[in-house]
Amino acid sequence: MAQTYVTQRGDTLWDIAEKFYKNGSLWHIIYEANRTVFGDNPGNVFAGKTLTIPDLNSPPPAPPAPPGLPTTYTTKPNDTLWELAERFYQDGTKWYLIYEANKGSIGSDPRQLPAGLNLTIPTLETAPNQPGGDPQLLGGTITDSPDGVYFPMTQQFHVYCRSTGGSLFQHFGTQWQDLGKPPVGFSNSPAAVVRDINNIDVFVRGNDNNLYHIYWGGTGWYGWENHGGGLQSSPTVCSWSQARLDIFARGGSNNLIHCWWDASGGWSQWEDMTNTFPGGFQPINFNPAAVSWPQSD
């Protein structure tokens, strides 16, 4: 019979498997039974999470539904569409497929997922409105690499680039929109991120080598804001919660620099990250890249 366990600070799946199975190498059994807790990262063992500990003598779970047949699921407290997509598709980024199939029940805000909803979980073959398909010519003339995001509010991909006139342009649907430019103009490619259902943040390197920021706040575009920095490359940005932005770039000493914004403290100062490199400072001669995972605790 399966047991439950509430994680403690410092726990690892190996340690928990040792505790219940006397064999740490069986950690993957606990992980598979709790994928909605851990997502794709079995290292996300945060304190206070209730885990199911399967009985090694229990029969294996029933096989999944045959391909091509949608299944159903009744939501539980604290479920999210991301976690359901992890469970059914092994890919949290496909949450919007479940949302589109159940939009009438969920409503306009995919973050609001009350318990007790009966959802249809479409197969990947039958899911509606899947992005992709044949390449499309969007038109326009651009001078740097574009960046793009999927925005839940419009349920479309938004593309950002620098035009030949030096402005930041946005494309979604069938339209190009001129978002203007910082007072000093800007160089290099923009970087864009979706912070939540209502917010898109776009960053560029100004011609004075400072970081400039414009954002969509749910009803309109706000900006431009100057955040300094002395950048020597295009910025890159990631967001691990609706209340956090992290920006990285190459600095004037060929060093990796970082600043951030959070809802409680606002914008930070720039910091030099090269002291974190193994073996000390190493000059970089490239544009950095960053990625984050949604906050789990």
**CB of 167 within 8 A of CB of 181?**
yes
> What pLDDT does residue 62 have?
46
Of the candidates 191, 195, 183, the residue with the CA atom closest to the CA atom of residue 248: 191
Max Cα-Cα span within the chain: 68
> What pLDDT does residue 190 have?
95
Q: What is the mean pLDDT of residues 257-280?
A: 87
- DSSP for residue 142: B
Q: Is the pLDDT of residue 193 over 80?
A: yes
Assess whether 44 and 81 both reside in one domain.
Answer: no
* In a domain? residue 173: yes
Tell me the CATH number at 84: 3.10.350.10
Assess whether 152 and 265 both reside in one domain.
Answer: yes
pTM more than 0.75: no
Torsion of Cα atoms, 274 then 275 then 277 then 282, to 10°? 50
* In a domain? residue 41: yes
**Tally of CB atoms within 10 A around 202:** 25
Assess whether 108 and 172 both reside in one domain.
Answer: no
Assess whether 103 and 184 both reside in one domain.
Answer: no
By residue count, the chain amounts to: 297
Count Cβ atoms within 10 A of the Cβ of residue 229 and give its class: 0-12 exposed, 13-18 middle, 19 or more buried: buried
> What pLDDT does residue 61 have?
52
* In a domain? residue 138: no
Q: Which two tokens stand for residue 220?
A: 């309109």
Assess whether 9 and 99 both reside in one domain.
Answer: no
Torsion of Cα atoms, 92 then 128 then 219 then 221, to 10°? 70
Torsion of Cα atoms, 91 then 88 then 30 then 13, to 10°? 20
* 13-62 confidence digits (pLDDT tens): 888 989 998 888 788 888 888 888 887 677 778 888 899 998 887 655 54
Instruction: Report how many domains make up the chain.
Output: 3
Assess whether 116 and 153 both reside in one domain.
Answer: no
* In a domain? residue 286: no
Q: Is the pLDDT of residue 175 over 50?
A: yes
* 199-256 confidence digits (pLDDT tens): 899 999 999 999 999 999 888 899 899 999 999 999 999 998 888 999 999 998 889 9
Domain span holding position 173:
147-276
* In a domain? residue 117: yes
* Identity of residue 212: Y
Q: Which two tokens stand for residue 149?
A: 């995001």
* In a domain? residue 282: no
Q: Among 62, 86, 121, which residue terminates a domain?
A: 121
Mean pLDDT of the chain: 83
CA angle (155, 161, 164) in 5-degree steps: 140
Assess whether 166 and 99 both reside in one domain.
Answer: no
Assess whether 178 and 265 both reside in one domain.
Answer: yes
What is the rounded CA–CA span in Å between residue 105 and residue 175? 30
Assess whether 169 and 250 both reside in one domain.
Answer: yes
Assess whether 76 and 49 both reside in one domain.
Answer: no
* In a domain? residue 232: yes
Assess whether 157 and 107 both reside in one domain.
Answer: no
138 vs 81, more confident? 81
> What pLDDT does residue 78 have?
84
What is the rounded CA–CA span in Å between residue 23 and residue 16? 9
Torsion of Cα atoms, 136 then 137 then 138 then 141, to 10°? 150
> What pLDDT does residue 157 have?
86
Tell me the CATH number at 168: 2.120.10.70
**CB of 91 within 8 A of CB of 85?**
yes
Of the candidates 248, 242, 243, the residue with the CA atom closest to the CA atom of residue 227: 248
> What pLDDT does residue 45 have?
84
* In a domain? residue 174: yes
> What pLDDT does residue 161 have?
92
Q: Which residues pair with 160 in a beta bridge?
A: 147, 170
> What pLDDT does residue 63 have?
47
Q: What is the mean pLDDT of residues 89-108?
A: 82
Q: Is the pLDDT of residue 69 over 60?
A: no
Assess whether 170 and 49 both reside in one domain.
Answer: no
